[in-house]
Amino acid sequence: MHIREMMAEAERSGEPSFSFEYFPPKTAQGVQNLYDRMERMYNFGPKFIDITWGAGGRIAELTCEMVVQAQAYLGLEACMHLTCTDMGEERVNDALRKAYKAGCTNILALRGDPPREKEKWEATDSGFRYARDLVAHIRKTYGNHFDIGVAGYPEGCDDNKDEDSLLDHLKEKVDMGASFIVTQMFYDVDNFIRWVGRVRERGITVPIIPGIMPIATYASFLRRANHMQCKVPEEWMAKLEPVKNDDVAVRDIGKTLVADMCRKILAAGIPHLHFYTMNLAQATRMVLEELNWLPSPDHPLKHALPWKQSLGFGRRGEDVRPIFWRNRNKSYVARTQEWDEFPNGRWGDSRSPAFGELDAYGIGLTGSNEQNRKKWGEPTCIRDIASLFIRYLNNDIEYLPWSEAPVAEEAALIKDNLIDLNNRGLITINSQPAVNGVKSTHPVHGWGPSNGYVYQKAYLEMFISPDLFPEIKRRIEDHPDLTYHAVTRSGNLETNAQSEGPNAVTWGVFPGKEIVQPTIVERISFLAWKDEAFQLGNEWARCYEAGTPSRLMLDEVMNTWYLVNIVNNDFHRGHTIFEVLEGLEIHDMDKVQERQTNGATEATNDAEASA
């Protein structure tokens, strides 16, 4: 979606909006940490993010990679910075191609700062001298595919403090095809509002987006203000100076000052604010809280579909997915990225067998062996695994091998049932409660356009011991409303589903639209998911040394247990699945595998250890 369209939507709705800026970190661990933070900050509700351009080499490549990650895997609309610094036409074209293929539709075109080793900015051979040249090139090459933003300077820039000259340059950039303006950071609101008036007097009508820098610490606040040469109001210094050595007090006072500034900007008719996060969350979150802009039960984050959409190339129209990847969105995107087209309106049988290989980036278990042992301990028996899953359901841990995000809010409806199953050795890895026609604006279950109603069938997915499976199978097949698929790692599939076709487990009814069925259960995609689910378990096992009780126990579970999914096709009855599973329990949940040492075995179950 183009940024100018977002701005128009904010004006039409009367609801202010905001966005975030990030920059490429210098280390691999820093990049991963930032991806995790970007995903958490997605839940703040930004309309888009922008990613600064790292001029030269690996950092420039990382900007492009971060755009791909944001668009395809995080579902964040990204605006990619692109500068003239050290960029000939070939390198500019390469960056634009990568942005295009990532599904990116917004570019912020900048001249850029001179490299550190140069005092004065100089164009490269065959390069672009000014941002207006870059704007003209992008517009000529890609037409209207990219919305193109440019920088605005309410207080001047490093090498030019002549406001009239800068306004002339701004007009030239807009005349060349720029469609929105993002300002440098500032704290003097009165000057900004005056400057906006002068911009409009020049006949520049495109949206203006003010750059807001939250206050994290006194030292960083002063450093950035001095670096950007922006004026700090005297009353701000009077309030911050006395508490400059107390970071908590600085953030608390700073959030109020910045929030008041934001309110004045909004009152002047500017509907969107752009926060320079410096890759940090706390100071920005505090300002959003002060403005009462964070999602809440009264103002929930709106979702077009019940799962996070990918904004990767060709995927914007995708509206149907199998439920199996409900907790592993990135993996699903990675395994389907080579599809020529994506399901829209219905799930076509032809695309099910086309899932990518399991060795692609983003599919396997993340983190080092040491990190994973620290997260999940060293389980040696089924009760240990069950306890770990119960901790996840209680939000004591955020991730599991089969879940890349904290447990969903809607799980609260069936939380006690899920805990009970795990206590009995039925290991639950995916579920959804039944929902019978709640409003599409519901804070937990809602999705899609307003004034609609959404529905869900109860769904449960578990690892099941081979000792319990025959009885579970008998009970399900005796119940007319339940369908199941069960498979072992070796691929022995059993099911009572009458068709290989899709079974919709989530759907919505909206005014003026056909019924939308965005989540399905389907046989062939379940078999593709089966490979991934068992591989994740085996990768978890390999976090422990060969022959240890943890390794042996996890390997046995993955090699002998069933992966089972159950659908209750009567969405009026939410607890039927749990009723059918009542009374089933694994015996010897505390039994520890025999330790293997030098070809021999060492008994380690609890009974022998206590003898």
Please tell me the distance from the alpha carbon of residue 75 to that of residue 330, in angstroms, as a whole number: 10
Strands of 482-488's sheet, edge to edge? 427-432, 458-464, 562-568, 482-488, 494-495
Other CB atoms within 10 Å distance of the CB of residue 373: 15
Nearest to 172 by CA among 202, 195, 141: 202
Overall residue count recorded for the chain in this entry: 611
Please tell me the distance from the alpha carbon of residue 185 to that of residue 261, in angstroms, as a whole number: 12
Pairing of strands 453-456, 503-509: antiparallel
**Does residue 21 have an active-site annotation?**
yes
Lookup: tokens for 522: 């389907």
Catalytic residue among 11, 15, 21, 556: 21
Please tell me the distance from the alpha carbon of residue 283 to that of residue 257, in angstroms, as a whole number: 12
Angstrom distances, CA of residue 247 to CA of 41, 250, 254, 284, 285: 22, 5, 10, 15, 16
Give the CA dihedral 82, 83, 85, 89, nearest 10 degrees: 70
Is the separation of the CB atoms in 60 and 66 below 8 Å?
A: no
Q: How many CA atoms lie within 13 A of 506 on its CB side?
A: 22
Is the separation of the CB atoms in 350 and 548 below 8 Å?
A: no
Please tell me the distance from the alpha carbon of residue 84 to that of residue 110, in angstroms, as a whole number: 7
Lookup: tokens for 32: 């991963």
Please tell me the distance from the alpha carbon of residue 195 to that of residue 310, in angstroms, as a whole number: 38
**Residue 14 region, left (φ>0) first, then alpha (ψ -120 to 50), else beta?**
left
What is the Cα gyration radius of the chain? 28
Nearest to 157 by CA among 211, 88, 215, 79: 211
Please name the residues in contact with 265: beta carbons below 8 A apart, sequence gap of 6 or more.
189, 192, 193, 210, 273
Give the CA dihedral 494, 355, 35, 449, nearest 10 degrees: -80
Please tell me the distance from the alpha carbon of residue 108 to that of residue 114, in angstroms, as a whole number: 17
Please tell me the distance from the alpha carbon of residue 113 to that of residue 120, in angstroms, as a whole number: 9
Q: Is 401 exposed, middle or buried (0-12, 13-18, 19+ CB in 10 A)?
A: buried
Q: Is the dihedral of CA 27, 28, 31, 32 positive or negative?
A: negative
Pairing of strands 595-597, 600-602: antiparallel
Nearest to 505 by CA among 441, 455, 575: 455
Number of H helices, E strands in the chain: 20, 20
Residue that has been written with the tokens 């008998």 in this structure: 474
Give the residue numbers marked as catalytic.
21
